[in-house]
Amino acid sequence: MMENAWLIPLFPLLSFLILLLFGKRLKKASAYVGIIFTLASLIFSILVLFERFSEPTYMTKFEWLTIGDLHLTAGFEVNQLNALMLFIVSLVSFLVHTYSKGYMNGDERFPVFYAYLGLFTFAMLGLVLSPNLLQTYIFWELVGVGSFLLIGFYFNKEEAKAAAKKAFIMTRIGDVGLFIGMILLFWETKSFEYSEIFKAVDSGAVSGTMITLTAILIFIGAVGKSGQFPLHTWLPDAMEGPTPVSALIHAATMVAAGVYLVAALFPLFLASKTALLTIAVIGAFTAIFAASIGLVQTDIKRVLAYSTVSQLGYMMLALGSGGYVAGVFHLMTHAFFKALLFLAAGSVIHAVHTQNIEEMGGLWKKLKLTGPLFLIGTLAISGVPLLSGFFSKDEILIAAWEGGHPILFLLALIAAFMTAFYMFRLFFMVFTGEARSEMKHVHESPNNMTFPMILLGVLAIVAGYVNTPWFGSFFGDWLVDGNPALGHGHIEGPIWIMIAATVVSLLGIYVAYLMYFKRSLSRNWLSGTGDTLHTILLNKYYVDEFYQLTVIAFTKGFSYFLRFIDVFVVEGLVKGVVGIVQGLGKTGSKMQTGQVQTYGAVAFIGLALLAVIFALTGGYLR
Amino acid sequence: MSSVPASAFLALALILFCIGLYGALTKRNTVIVLISIELMLNAVNINLVTFSKYGMTPSITGQIFALFAICVAAAEASVGLAILIALYRTKKTVNIDEMNTMKN
Amino acid sequence: MTFSGEFLAFMGLALVAIIGGVLLLNLTKVVHMVVALIFTFVAIAGIYVLLSAEFIAAVQILIYSGAITIIMLFGIMLTKHDDESEPKTGKWRKILVFLGIVGFAFAVYIGIYNFNIEQVPTTLHENNTMQIGKELYSKYIIPFELTSVLLLVALVGSIILAKNEKKEADSE
Amino acid sequence: MNLHSILSILVFSPLLGIVVLAFLPKQSEKLIKWVGFLATIPALLIALAAYLHFQWGKDLADFAVSKSWIQFRGMGGAPEPFFSVNYELGLSGFQLLLVVLTAVVATLSAIAAVKFVKKEWKGYFMLFLLLEIGMLGVFTAENLILFFIFFEVTLIPTFFLIGKWGYFEKEKAAYSFLIYNGLGSAVLLIVIMILFAKTGTTNIEMLTKIIADPSAPLSGDLKLGLLIALLVAFGVKLPIFPLHSWMLKVHVQAPPAVVMIHSGILLKIGAYGLIRFGLGIFPEQFKTLATLLAVLGVINLLYGAFLAFIQTDFKMVLAYSSISHMGIVLIGLAAMNEAGVQGAIFQVISHGLISALLFFLVGVLYERTDTSLIENLGGMAKGMPIAAGFLLAGAMASLGLPGMSGFVSEFMAFLGLFKELPWIAAVGTIGIIMTAAYLLRAVLGMTYGKAHREFTGVLDLKGVEFVPVVVLFVLIVLIGVYPSVLSAPLQTTLETIMLGLGG
């Protein structure tokens, strides 16, 4: 089965092509095309995953491009991480395909939507199958395009257009980091292939500074894709896209690609303490930074988006602290519960046609299925014991502590508190209390929307049990099998960390309960401490404004400066030359007196000049 | 054999040619310009005859060419003068400054 | 260089020719200029003799000193010459042309200076006219005939050009 | 058929069309269009056959033809007693690719002309076919003099095509095209003549050998001077900053069918010349100029990108993007290693295809809406989704999206330069970001957003318009997905160049 893993990405590609060419004729049937092909991918992925449990890594390659003596290859590789990612991506993609059939019903560009989804799924699956950096980069960019197209799906909305553009350009900034890092690494190791790179790094053929440099550059790529600080601003804006897209791309798969990349290149990062520390610091900072913004947002999807950024920061923190398993584990559980949250949010939006949580409320009774499912997701992300998020978050905290970063550990703990708080704030505001605006025709979503949510809800509960301190760390052991460098499947940590994590999250829930359910604590408790803080948070620390005033203003200014040069200096030079030539011409025409004698004299003087030069130089250019 | 070297004749021809040229390019009187051109032709003839005697392969051909040149010069002088007179008839002057119909 | 008779003759003739040329440039009256030119032409005929080209020398005197000079004199007489009021050529032009000529002369002189060919004994002076005649009527017969055509054309052309157009217009 | 005469047939096949057109009455519009289009087909078929010939493992040298043409005795000082100019055509892998590109783009441009040219088809197609002869000749000539003649043959028809069939300021554009390029070709002629006088040959292969020989009668300084002159001559064509202003006018004023040819192929003559003559004949001197070239390349790349960022006319955006993309060619060349040079060549071809595609779409848009201002076109995806989709796809290809040809070339060029001059390359990567920024700004500005006007009626691509768009797009994707279609023929060319560079 593994040797046929290359088929997995091809199914969605096929779906993309079919829908692009015949979408107009297929109309509603487009959904079935997409669903069937992704189902095929999912089945194959499951088969591959199960086969990978028992068999070693499979890899194959062929020559893709010849450059003189350099032979660049393409191919695919099925190792533990890849197999796991294949499963996650194809599962979420399949569920989102199913869900969208209901959610996008009635949109006139229904087939196009499915085509784009196919393209994205193809790229994402291709990304996780890549055995070398170049191929990774190729799919990395394609994933970006898929995301770009889907964010801008409602193309006649100005916000969607701006968000799509922003997403593409901001991730591209990160991609350039990856691009440079990749090329530098290539010239150091003479290969793009992961295995060759690790070999070269192990043998010490690459200097320490170079490892650090390339590792950080590659991490910049991950920063862009995974929405880490300071390139995070595109991710919340990306919520302009249809909600299923947010679930697929901006929660479960693409944004996790950054984490995946760091994980895939983990041996490289392990070789550089500085790079690891950078990752850990950025991860931790992003986690708390995004969580704090999430505290005050009022758009349901934006809250989830900031929570995604924050959770991705968690994963980065785990990887940066050397907790390979913790990072990947959280990546998996997060994929499930965040996809669930987004789909549930989508279901809510579908029902009430607004995204502003200030206008919602009291939906628990109206959405009998969505409500509990949303609660499951909220509990999971808050790290309430016995749900998947609890185990993976615990692993991360332990990894941070054991990695020797007490400050980062503390930040992560605070972020956990905030997460619990804002998630339950969201939950209480949406589902409890009284409706804060007129809401007509509120109804539960159709089956094809609830089915994916239920499946994800189940996974959000149970996915954690594959790797727990109590029932064995089967998952972690398998993940690091054959790669001792990646660390242990499970890191033993002091028991108080688990207790602390639990207490913190429960505390967060309790505060949210007081403020938004019982209303015994003033809702303006935060703003009470100072309007300034609230304003700053509401404006996302003014990062966008900062970019607007610095980078974009600079670019524009520089462009206008260059245009000034183009119009006045370059054109001016040309005009000057033209003027000189015209002047010469005028002088020349004045000299045309019409007198043969003058002409003869001038011609003769010219001849004499030539003759003298000839006589003096011998007439041959030396 | 001869005490006068070929280069002496050539130098003489050069000097005459230069005089003719100077006259042709600076004189205002059209007749003098024509005369100067004759002088230049004469200088060329000296060269032809000189090479006929002192050239790499001396032969009578040089002299024959000189004859032809004289012939052409005679024709040129007659036609040139005819043009001059025709012009004079219309412009009433032989001043070369006035002969600038090439300008327009 | 020995002061042989030939050399003296050359020097004398050359001097006359050059002086004639210089006078041509510097005299003010047109007729005087033509007279100076005759000296030059005759001197050149002498040079031809020195170069063992007796026939050419004869032709030179006949055509140049005789025919062409006469034509020129006719030309001068047929046109009006106001020597005094003639505008002088611009000073700069003269200087420039002079410099150009000096440069040109210098360049050519270098060529002449480097010109060095072994002298080969010739038989040009023996029956010079006969040699010319033989060549002219055998090897160069076609150019010779063409020359006659040229002269004819020149003749006809001159007549047509010089003919009074007014009369022609009147007669028609 | 004799293989040796095939190249001549290839180059001069459009002549048949010119002759036929000459006898057609001016009014028979349909017939003229058909003849004009069909006359480009033989060259296309032969070019494709030659490509298949290569792919079947046969030698491209089979096509070489050499006929004695002009001969005269040498002047003093030259080493050879005879100067001879032969009629020599040939194909290497590089040339083969360019010939195929030319044939393809020319045929597609003929289709575009059938659609977009509104007057005097007879004159248009005759000039157009003459231009094609020139382009094919430029890429097959094995002799500098012959090259120069064909080079000039491309100038004159282009001048008239711009000056007669262009937009409002067409005359000005045509003149600045002619003057700039005329000056460039004058410089080129000087270089050719000096080389000819010094070595007695203009055969490119022989020249390369003679100049590589240290006992050649050319001092190092002279060679450097000649190379700089070549850089100027082809820099005008490419164009290299600051010799670019003519090209903006041409791109804006010329009719779209001509710009397809111009941006797709004529600009590539500059790159071709730099690679073939600059890098091929003066490898040693090229090395000394490598850093300068890299800096120029980065300047081109960034200058074009930043200026494209603030343009309001989409044609201007594309014009500046051409400048920017030609910077990548320079960057690749400056790397002077296999990856860089191959990247440069890839960029030449890929940009040829992409800009042809984009300008065709501009032509379509202009025909429907009478504007190419970004602002006026906002939201056109509503009315013409297919055109908008291809426009977006073209922009993606242009900004170097993997899976399309632009990426492969960009990647290789930077791969090469990072090995040699990593700092300059690092500055250059800003260009990658800027490319994305300006292209998205322009294309999204046109396609996305609220529609500023009614796009009513049948506006979208239809009928024969699909042919150029689809063919070009398929080629772009093909190269992007499987670059070996290009890289295989290039390997021998690369080896030769690398041999010249001494490694």
Contact A597 B25 (CB under 8 A): yes
pLDDT at C88: 62
Question: What is the distance between the alpha carbons of residues A8 and A574, in angstroms, rounded to a whole number?
Answer: 58
Taking the CA of residue C37 and the nearest CA in chain A, the distance in Å comes to: 21
Closest-CA residue of chain D to A570: D242
Any CB–CB contact under 8 A between C111 and chain A? yes
Tokens of A331: 């990546």
Question: What is the distance between the alpha carbons of residues A213 and A272, in angstroms, rounded to a whole number?
Answer: 9
Q: Is the dihedral of CA C11, C12, C18, C22 positive or negative?
A: positive
User: Residue D39 pLDDT more than 60?
Assistant: yes
Question: What is the distance between the alpha carbons of residues B93 and C89, in angstroms, rounded to a whole number?
Answer: 16
Strands D82-89 and A58-67: unpaired
Burial class (CB in 10 A: 0-12, 13-18, 19+), B57: exposed
In this prediction, residue A244 has a pLDDT band, given cuts at 50, 70 and 90, of confident
Contact A562 D432 (CB under 8 A): no
What is the b/e burial string over A354-363, where b = at least 16 CB atoms within 10 angstroms of the residue's CB? ebebebbbeb
How much of chain A, in percent, has pLDDT values that exceed 90?
0
At what angle are helices A273-294 and A300-320 packed, to 10 degrees?
160
User: Chain centroid to CA A305: how far?
Assistant: 12
Give the pLDDT confidence of D300-337 residue by residue, as tens digits: 999 888 888 888 888 889 999 998 999 999 998 888 88
pLDDT at D129: 92
pLDDT at D501: 74
pLDDT at A622: 44
Contact C1 B18 (CB under 8 A): no
* ipTM tops the 0.90 cut: no
**Cis omega before residue D239 (within 30°)?**
yes
Amino acid sitting at position A535: T
Contact list in A for residue B26 (CB cut-off 8 A) is 597, 601
Q: Check residues C124 and A198 and name the one with the higher pLDDT.
A: A198
Contact D491 A66 (CB under 8 A): yes
Instruction: Count Cβ–Cβ pairs < 8 Å, chain A vs chain C.
Output: 34
Give start and end residues of each alpha helix (H) in D277-370.
280-281, 283-308, 314-335, 338-369
Which of A362-366, A417-421, D82-86, D190-194 has the least mean pLDDT? D82-86
Question: What is the distance between the alpha carbons of residues A39 and A362, in angstroms, rounded to a whole number?
Answer: 36
Q: What is the domain partition of chain B in residue ranges?
A: 6-92
- Residue in C96, C99, C107 nearest the CB of A615: C107
pLDDT at B17: 92
Any CB–CB contact under 8 A between D339 and chain A? yes
Give me the CATH code for the B6-92 domain, please: 1.10.287.3510
User: Residue D385 pLDDT more than 70?
Assistant: yes
Question: What is the distance between the alpha carbons of residues D437 and D420, in angstroms, rounded to a whole number?
Answer: 27
- Residue in A592, A593, A604 nearest the CB of B25: A604
Nearest in space to A107 (alpha carbons), one of A163, A23, A166: A23
Give start and end residues of each alpha helix (H) in A104-132.
110-129
In this prediction, residue A440 has a pLDDT band, given cuts at 50, 70 and 90, of low
Decide: helix, strand or coil at residue B93: coil
At what angle are helices D484-500 and D338-369 packed, to 10 degrees?
130
- Residue in B16, B49, B92 nearest the CB of C53: B49
If interface means Cβ-Cβ distance under 8 Å, which residues of chain A face chain B?
A: 592-597, 599-601, 604
Give the pLDDT confidence of D253-300 residue by residue, as tens digits: 888 888 888 888 888 898 899 888 888 888 888 888 888 889 999 999
> Does chain B touch chain D (at least 3 C-beta pairs within 8 Å)?
no
Q: What is the mean pLDDT of chain D?
A: 85
Taking the CA of residue C117 and the nearest CA in chain B, the distance in Å comes to: 6
Which of A293-297, D39-43, D142-146, D272-276 has the least mean pLDDT? A293-297
Question: What is the distance between the alpha carbons of residues A36 and C167, in angstroms, rounded to a whole number?
Answer: 109
pLDDT at C84: 54
Contact list in C for residue A608 (CB cut-off 8 A) is 100-101, 103-104, 107
At what angle are helices A406-431 and A370-382 packed, to 10 degrees?
170
Query: Which chain A residues in 146-175 lie under 8 Å from chain D, judged by CB atoms?
Result: 152, 155-156, 158, 160-161, 164-165, 168-169, 172-173, 175
pLDDT at A500: 85
Q: What is the domain partition of chain D in residue ranges?
A: 1-181+238-272, 289-503
Contact list in B for residue C157 (CB cut-off 8 A) is 79, 82
Question: What is the distance between the alpha carbons of residues D157 and D155, in angstroms, rounded to a whole number?
Answer: 6
User: Residue D70 pLDDT more than 70?
Assistant: yes
Amino acid sitting at position C72: M
Closest-CA residue of chain A to D448: A155
Give domain C1-82's CATH number out of 1.20.120.1200, 2.60.40.10, 1.20.120.1630, 1.10.3720.10: 1.20.120.1200
Q: Which contiguous run of DSSP H or E holds residue D68?
A: strand D65-73
Give the pLDDT confidence of A160-204 residue by residue, as tens digits: 888 888 888 888 888 889 999 988 888 888 888 888 888 888 887
- Residue in A598, A601, A611 nearest the CB of C104: A611
pLDDT at A528: 53
Which of A511-520, C117-126, D225-234 has the least mean pLDDT? C117-126
Q: Check residues A497 and D473 and name the one with the higher pLDDT.
A: D473
- Of these ranges, A152-156, A247-251, D105-109, the one predicted with the greatest mean pLDDT is D105-109
Give the pLDDT confidence of D125-135 residue by residue, as tens digits: 999 999 999 99
User: Residue A621 pLDDT more than 60?
Assistant: no
Query: Which chain B residues in 11-40 lie under 8 Å from chain C, judged by CB atoms?
Result: 11-12, 14-16, 18-23, 25-29, 31-32, 34-36, 38-39
Nearest in space to D138 (alpha carbons), one of D222, D321, D25, D261: D261
pLDDT at D138: 92
pLDDT at A541: 77
C-beta of residue D378 within 8 angstroms of C-beta of residue D446: yes
Average pLDDT, integer, range B20-44: 87
In this prediction, residue B2 has a pLDDT band, given cuts at 50, 70 and 90, of low
Contact C107 A607 (CB under 8 A): no
Contact A180 D418 (CB under 8 A): yes
Calculate the alpha carbon distances from D206 to A566, D199, D203, D375, D496 in Å. 42, 9, 5, 55, 13
Nearest in space to D109 (alpha carbons), one of D28, D17, D19, D36: D36
pLDDT at B92: 74
**Main-chain dihedrals φ then ψ at residue D372, nearest 5 degrees:** -130, 15
User: Residue C89 pLDDT more than 70?
Assistant: no
pLDDT at D77: 47
**Main-chain dihedrals φ then ψ at residue C79, nearest 5 degrees:** -110, 160
- Residue in B21, B33, B101 nearest the CB of A594: B101
User: Residue C146 pLDDT more than 70?
Assistant: yes
C-beta of residue D268 within 8 angstroms of C-beta of residue D238: no
Contact list in A for residue D195 (CB cut-off 8 A) is none
Give start and end residues of each alpha helix (H) in C27-113.
30-50, 54-60, 69-78, 91-113
Q: Which contiguous run of DSSP H or E holds residue D65?
A: strand D65-73
Give the pLDDT confidence of A487-529 residue by residue, as tens digits: 666 667 777 888 888 888 888 888 888 887 777 666 655 555 5
Question: What is the distance between the alpha carbons of residues C64 and B77, in angstroms, rounded to a whole number?
Answer: 10
**DSSP annotation of A60:** E
- Residue in A593, A594, A600 nearest the CB of B25: A600
pLDDT at C172: 41
- Residue in D76, D306, D451 nearest the CB of A562: D306
Tokens of D410: 């960009």
